[in-house]
Amino acid sequence: MSSQQQLRQQLYRIDGRGYGAYRDIAGKWQLEGGVILHVDHVQADPFASPSRLRLIVPWHKPEHLTDGDRVRGAAGYLARLAQRIVCDVRGKRGSGRSGQIHLDAGGQQLLDRTAVVIRSDELELRISLGLPAAGRRVLGRTAFELLRDLADGLREGLTLTRAQWDQLRQWADLAEDHAALRQGLEEEELVAFVPDGAQLPRESGVSDLPLPFTEVVPFTSPPSLRVTLSVPHRGAVTGMGIPHGVTLIVGGGYHGKSTLLRGLERGVYDHIPGDGREFLVTVSSAVKVRAEDGRSVAGVDISPFISDLPGGQVTAEFYTQEASGSTSQAANIMEALELGCELLLMDEDTSATNFLIRDARMQRLVRGESEPITPFIDRVRELKDRGVSTIMVMGGSGDYFSVADRVIRMDAYEAHDVTLEAHQISQSMPTGRVEETGGRFQEFSSRRPLPHTINSHRRKRTRAEGRGRDTILFGEETIDLAQVEQLVDPSQTRGVATMMLYARQHYIDGKRSFREVLERVYQDWKDGGWERISPYRGHPGDLAYPRPHEVVASFNRLRSLRTRDLD
pLDDT tens per residue, range 325-341: 999 999 999 999 999 99
Report which DSSP code applies to 452. G
pLDDT confidence of residue 89? 87
Please state, for a pLDDT cut of 90, what percent of the chain lies above it: 84
What SS3 state is found at 302?
A: coil
What mean pLDDT is predicted for residues 372-401? 95
What mean pLDDT is predicted for residues 482-510? 97
What mean pLDDT is predicted for residues 114-132? 95
Report helix, strand and coil shares of the chain as percent, to nearest 5.
35, 25, 40
pLDDT confidence of residue 538? 62
CB crowding 456-479: b at 16 or more within 10 Å, else e: beeeeeebbebeebebbebbebeb
- Asked which of 445, 461, 487 is the last residue of a domain, the reply is 445
CA distance 445 to 443: 6
Pure H helices in 90-233? 140-157, 162-187
Residue 23 has a CB neighbour count (10 Å cut-off) of 13
- Asked which of 429, 445, 461 is the last residue of a domain, the reply is 445
CA distance 54 to 538: 8
Which residues, including other chains, have CB under 8 Å from residue 191's CB and lie 6 or more apart?
A: 185, 242, 243, 244, 282, 283, 286, 342, 343, 389, 391
Output Rg (C-alpha) for the chain, integer angstroms.
26
CA distance 419 to 409: 9
What mean pLDDT is predicted for residues 203-211? 90
CA distance 276 to 199: 4
Residue 334 lies in a domain: no
CA distance 88 to 238: 41
Do 155 and 209 have their domain in common?
no
Do 50 and 134 have their domain in common?
yes
Do 143 and 9 have their domain in common?
yes
Instruction: Report which of residues 254 and 565 the model is more confident about.
Output: 254
| Number of alpha helices (DSSP H) and beta strands (DSSP E) in the chain | 13, 32
Strands 246-251 and 406-411: parallel
Residue 238 lies in a domain: yes
Q: 270-324, pLDDT tens digit by residue?
A: 999 999 999 999 999 999 999 999 999 999 999 999 987 887 788 999 999 999 9
- Asked which of 398, 420, 445 is the last residue of a domain, the reply is 445
CA distance 253 to 243: 25
Do 201 and 70 have their domain in common?
no
What SS3 state is found at 172?
A: helix
CA distance 421 to 222: 14
Do 123 and 235 have their domain in common?
no
pLDDT confidence of residue 91? 67
Do 144 and 237 have their domain in common?
no
Instruction: Report which of residues 567 and 225 the model is more confident about.
Output: 225
**Residue 360 pLDDT > 80:** yes
What SS3 state is found at 540?
A: coil
Do 359 and 432 have their domain in common?
yes
Count of domains observed in the chain: 3
pLDDT confidence tier of residue 95, bands split at 50, 70 and 90:
low
pLDDT confidence tier of residue 546, bands split at 50, 70 and 90:
very high
Please state, for a pLDDT cut of 70, what percent of the chain lies above it: 98
**Residue 457 pLDDT > 60:** yes
Residue 426 lies in a domain: yes
Residue 107 lies in a domain: yes
Mean pLDDT of the residues in the chain: 94
CA distance 404 to 318: 30
What SS3 state is found at 312?
A: helix
Do 195 and 250 have their domain in common?
yes
Do 120 and 16 have their domain in common?
yes
Provide the domain limits for residue 42.
Answer: 2-160
Distances (CA, A) of 499 to 109, 110, 234, 423, 548: 20, 20, 35, 46, 9
**Residue 92 pLDDT > 60:** no
Q: 144-167, pLDDT tens digit by residue?
A: 999 999 999 999 999 999 999 999
Do 15 and 116 have their domain in common?
yes
CA distance 150 to 153: 5
pLDDT confidence tier of residue 567, bands split at 50, 70 and 90:
low
**Residue 440 pLDDT > 70:** no
Do 121 and 219 have their domain in common?
no
What mean pLDDT is predicted for residues 490-506? 97
pLDDT confidence tier of residue 242, bands split at 50, 70 and 90:
very high
